[in-house]
Chains A and B, each alone.
Chain A
């Protein structure tokens, strides 16, 4: 590692994030000269694909953007269209949506915590290697994930790309018996989620904090999933309709993804830490106690501890799902009547990785004229890079392989769904 020598460390494909991406760390003269998280995308592919389609196709089309969080895309889509058409769904339908979304949180968080991120903390190359040494732990994670899948299937009609969601509600409301059949699984899962918090709390966390601007939804009474106002740790508190007044996307030269910034300020962070910090008072008592025992206070600024917060959110999702299942009466009708008309509507929901914003401009015939979709990972992109800018100089003494592992772990703090941010997966191999 002699001064003056240039090194470029490349992780050509990032393992264990959803999709593919490349990370380049450039060193010159023993110092960090550049960090780039490269995400490849033909710009705005799915947004272009939506133009001219019927509004009621948007949930299904956008669900294909992300195989991991299709529910998030559907929920943001239907709520944006409903906002354009002046529709407000009744509480019973809203509850079913929240329940479906709980399934996705459980499923996505369990997969990430167990199979994608925990291996980093325990020194394993992959979840597979971890499974060899800790089969029961991996089984627990997979079974927890399976509960989320089951919930999504019962409510959403299909595990991948749920087909039951429509503008106005659902094509079919699940029968009470179908949901009650999930109860035992949900009870087991709540225990498993609490065990998960205890497990990850014991990991070693680098001492790493930053003064992020956290951005999340905030609801008057609930931990936010399906709706709320847009708030930040720097005092933002606006209706979602003002999203584009405060956040703008910048094209970054080296990346085809767009980096989202707070106007006049810069990068910001969405996702579990943001939700936790901005809605701590709306955690359930059980979740708050689990967080406390895991060493979390009311505010967490260490992105490496996101794995703990994600686990706490899994507790929240299990509890919420049980509450909603226990109180469930099938909404009748399963969907409210809709009357297409020209208009513009937008919505934000809390995908597992953070706020997901949709806006649609619709014409008289109910066709989409314009679509804008801002995924959580593209909103975190700038923050991920700035974390790396700080982290790499502190880790330069490490051998290359270890340095890159540290960087990858730091990227995985954000559980980036690169396939969403890019709407696209791409693979390159340098000869």
Chain B
């Protein structure tokens, strides 16, 4: 499941309301995949991210976050700076994106370009499906931003891994 090109990984949980934001982002991108970009979904747990992005040159990770105005989007260039403590810290996933990124950094395994998008959610009730309106809108805008950004990077990855679901 590794690629040496560009990865976009949507992390989330379909059964917990706005926690599906990252997965919805992946679904949107797949409708019209950006050229040269492999789009993955990472369900619920972030501890497999280190494997998913192993060998990648550029990775964009998208996940829901708590705390702040629902629909707010934070973009962090994680390869330049540590993730702020407030972002993704209170993860609904056992071992969140923040832990995965910072562990990868400590191990020297962070891809050279690692961008994290955090979308603040409103509701994470288990058993609920579908995003709240402001999160849906935010996810659409993140998808657009990613399309723009990755079009500047576009080149085919040298190995295409299987799409993880």
Q: Is A248 an interface residue (CB 8 A)?
A: no
Q: Is A390 an interface residue (CB 8 A)?
A: no
The total of Cβ contacts below 8 Å across the A-B interface reads 75
Inter-subunit contact B90/A20 (CB<8 Å) = yes
Q: Is A160 an interface residue (CB 8 A)?
A: yes
Inter-subunit contact A427/B107 (CB<8 Å) = no
Inter-subunit contact A146/B126 (CB<8 Å) = no
Given contacts A128-B106, A158-B165, 9 further A-B contacts (CB under 8 A): A20-B92, A67-B45, A68-B94, A111-B47, A115-B95, A129-B106, A142-B103, A419-B94, A429-B67
Q: Is B76 an interface residue (CB 8 A)?
A: no
What is the CA–CA distance of A135 and B103 in the complex, to the nearest angstrom? 9
Q: Is A413 an interface residue (CB 8 A)?
A: no
How far is the CB of A61 from the nearest CB of chain B, in Å? 9
How far is the CB of A92 from the nearest CB of chain B, in Å? 28
Inter-subunit contact A138/B106 (CB<8 Å) = yes
Number of A interface residues at 8 Å Cβ cutoff, please give it: 36
Q: Is A182 an interface residue (CB 8 A)?
A: no
| 8 A Cβ contacts from A46-88 to B | 46, 49, 64, 67-68
Q: Is B93 an interface residue (CB 8 A)?
A: yes
Q: Is B15 an interface residue (CB 8 A)?
A: yes
| 8 A Cβ contacts from A107-151 to B | 111, 115, 126-129, 131-132, 135, 138-139, 142, 145-146, 149
Q: Give residues in A with beta carbon < 8 Å to B.
A: 13, 18-20, 45-46, 49, 64, 67-68, 111, 115, 126-129, 131-132, 135, 138-139, 142, 145-146, 149, 158-161, 419, 423-427, 429
The interface size bin for chain B is 20 to 34
Q: Which of A20, A128, A423 is within 8 Å of B99, CB to CB?
A: A128
- A13 to chain B: which residues have CB within 8 Å? 90
What is the CA–CA distance of A19 and B94 in the complex, to the nearest angstrom? 6
Q: Which of B47, B51, B126 is within 8 Å of A424, CB to CB?
A: B126
Q: Can you spell out 16 A-B residue pairs with CB atoms less than 8 angstroms apart?
A: A18-B94, A20-B90, A67-B44, A68-B94, A111-B47, A127-B103, A128-B99, A128-B102, A131-B106, A132-B106, A138-B106, A139-B107, A146-B51, A158-B165, A160-B43, A425-B126
Inter-subunit contact B13/A67 (CB<8 Å) = yes
Q: Is B53 an interface residue (CB 8 A)?
A: no
Inter-subunit contact A45/B126 (CB<8 Å) = yes
Q: Is B84 an interface residue (CB 8 A)?
A: no
What is the CA–CA distance of A154 and B90 in the complex, to the nearest angstrom? 32
Identify the interface centre among B13, B43, B93, B126: most chain A CB within 10 Å of its CB.
Answer: B126
Given A49-B127, A67-B45, A128-B106, A111 and B95 contact (CB-CB distance below 8 Å):
yes
10 shortest A-B CB distances, which residue pairs?
A131-B106, A67-B44, A128-B102, A132-B106, A160-B43, A18-B94, A425-B92, A427-B90, A131-B103, A135-B107
- B165 to chain A: which residues have CB within 8 Å? 158
- A132 to chain B: which residues have CB within 8 Å? 106
- B146 to chain A: which residues have CB within 8 Å? none
Inter-subunit contact B106/A135 (CB<8 Å) = yes
- B48 to chain A: which residues have CB within 8 Å? 146, 149, 159
Beta-carbon nearest neighbor of B93 in chain A: A67
- A67 to chain B: which residues have CB within 8 Å? 13, 43-45, 93-94
Q: Is B117 an interface residue (CB 8 A)?
A: no
Inter-subunit contact A126/B15 (CB<8 Å) = no
Q: Is B108 an interface residue (CB 8 A)?
A: yes
How far is the CB of B162 from the nearest CB of chain A, in Å? 10
- B127 to chain A: which residues have CB within 8 Å? 45-46, 49
| 8 A Cβ contacts from B88-104 to A | 90, 92-95, 99, 102-103
Q: Which of B44, B108, B164 is within 8 Å of A135, CB to CB?
A: B108
- B66 to chain A: which residues have CB within 8 Å? 427
Inter-subunit contact B95/A131 (CB<8 Å) = no
Q: Is B50 an interface residue (CB 8 A)?
A: yes
